[in-house]
Amino acid sequence: MVPPNGVGGNLNDPKLTMTSDLASYAVADTLSMLDDSVLLTVGVRHQRIRSGGFSNTTGLRTAHYDETANTPLVGLVYKPVRGLSLYANYIEALQGGPVAAGTNIDNVGDVFAPYTSEQKEVGIKYDAGRLGMSAALFTTAQPSAFVVERRFGVFGEQRNRGLELTVFGMPARGLRVLGGLTLIDAEQVTTAGGVNQGKDAIGVPKTQFNLGGEWDVPQVAGLSLNTRAVYTSTQFADGANTKEVPSWTRVDLGANYATRILDRAVTLRLRVNNVADKNYWASAGGFPGSGYLVVGAPRTVTLSGTVDF
């Protein structure tokens, strides 16, 4: 595996290989029709990406891009009855290009121009007041990179299709829940020589599930306890789908306490992530021929507070 910084040189003396500056703004408007039962949103987003690539041996700049794009966004919502919404949307986004990294390639450090990705989504949402749920089908398409004749380049395409289910609300007094299930089919559509065509993309688990809850302790005013469980299924760390990253599950716990001190509203928060201190690979990334793994964070305790002035 290549280190996450994308270089294969001396790990004790890492070099800067890429810089990236992102900026964007959007303008949109929503039109209401048929007594607010139909909502149409149209807009445009202006994005700018400035990126530079540097040699990991000499430190000299090897590439520079300053790209802008105006990308559309369109959304349609139909409310046939109270609490029920049907929707569809389409959006494009400008994303930074990859960096050539790995071994046995002749253009290490090259930074490729930004590209435009697109996403289409249709869904349904029902909100009954105390409980709500939604379901959405989505598809995204974007270019992918691999090595051809010792040169890394953006030659391929990756397509993601999936289903996302969400539940939210307050099933009982003082109890709030939020959860979601995502099923994804990430396919390599175009690959080097067609060898990995149709196989799973690197670092995209087929199943992700999370469920969280928060409970207001009735005996102590201002105190609430919360928990969250996160599950991620297996994922592949290589384009040939021969190296598999195991699935993992993590449980987090927390507590919030809201009070007043010196006539100021104060909220204290305690959070313990990865309560069981489980060792796991959180995710995989990279491209065929050069990948990396991301280590999951160990048990982490965070204490924070906010004061309203």
* Neighbour-count burial of 242, counting CB atoms closer than 10 A to its CB (0-12 exposed, 13-18 middle, 19+ buried): exposed
With H, G, I as helix, E, B as strand and everything else as coil, classify residue 220: coil
- What backbone torsions phi and psi does residue 156 show, to the nearest 5 degrees? -110, -170
With H, G, I as helix, E, B as strand and everything else as coil, classify residue 297: coil
Residue 213 in contact with residue 176, Cβ under 8 Å? yes
Neighbours of 156 (CB within 10 A): 21
From first to last of the 309 residues of the chain, give the pLDDT tens digit.
333 344 444 445 566 767 778 899 999 999 999 999 999 999 999 999 887 777 666 777 767 778 888 999 999 999 999 999 999 999 998 887 777 766 677 776 677 778 888 899 999 999 998 999 999 999 998 888 777 877 888 888 889 999 999 999 999 999 999 999 999 999 998 887 888 888 999 999 999 999 999 999 999 999 999 999 999 999 999 888 999 999 999 999 999 999 999 889 999 999 999 999 999 999 998 776 667 899 999 999 999 999 998
Q: Report the relative pairing of strands 84-95 and 61-78 from DSSP bridges.
A: antiparallel
Q: What residue ranges define each of the domains in the chain, with the CATH number in brackets?
A: 18-307 (2.40.170.20)
Q: Around 65, how many Cα atoms within 13 Å sit in the side-chain half-sphere?
A: 23
DSSP 15: -
